[in-house]
Amino acid sequence: MAAKRYLMNAGRTTKQGQQINIGKDSPEYLAIVTTIFMNVDDLKEAGITAGTDVRVRSDNGEAVFHCKEGKVPPGIIFVAYGPPTCKLMGQTTDGTGMPTSKGWEVEVEPV
């Protein structure tokens, strides 16, 4: 049986915007862009404990994130846009010049 797939959405957060002034190499900024948020029921179903690391795979690549429980609908994952999400993006831009950053189908597994 194939692993369950989730829709991952990347976006900017206000906290991320505040930390950018400190620098993208700061531990605070890196913690923001390497944390994903999943629905509590999805965490249980996937056998993932909030606060642990997970491997996220898309058709284009994979990255490791710290996983937290979040206020997101079932089947949806949210992450602040950053270097790890770039590993999951494809190269097609549909003529916009920017790869799609919403609605990637991904698989998630504990590390």
Distances (CA, A) of 28 to 8, 18, 33, 53: 22, 10, 9, 17
Give pLDDT tens digits for 39-86: 999 999 999 999 999 999 999 999 999 999 999 999 999 999 888 998
| pLDDT-based confidence at residue 102 (cuts at 50, 70, 90) | confident
Residue 95: domain span = 5-110
Indicate the SS3 state at residue 63: strand
- Tokens, residue 29: 């900024």
Tell me the whole-structure pTM to 2 decimals: 0.85
How many other C-beta atoms can be found within 10 angstroms of the C-beta atom of residue 13? 14
The total number of structural domains that make up the chain: 1
Strand partners, 84: none
Query: Which CATH number do you get for residue 70?
Result: 2.40.40.20
Distance CA 109, CA 111 (A): 6
Distance CA 2, CA 57 (A): 13
- Kindly state the average pLDDT of the residues 4-16: 85
Question: In whole numbers, what is the pLDDT of the chain averaged over residues?
Answer: 87
Q: What letter does residue 4 receive in the DSSP assignment?
A: P
What's the confidence (pLDDT) of residue 108?
Answer: 96
How many other C-beta atoms can be found within 10 angstroms of the C-beta atom of residue 21? 8
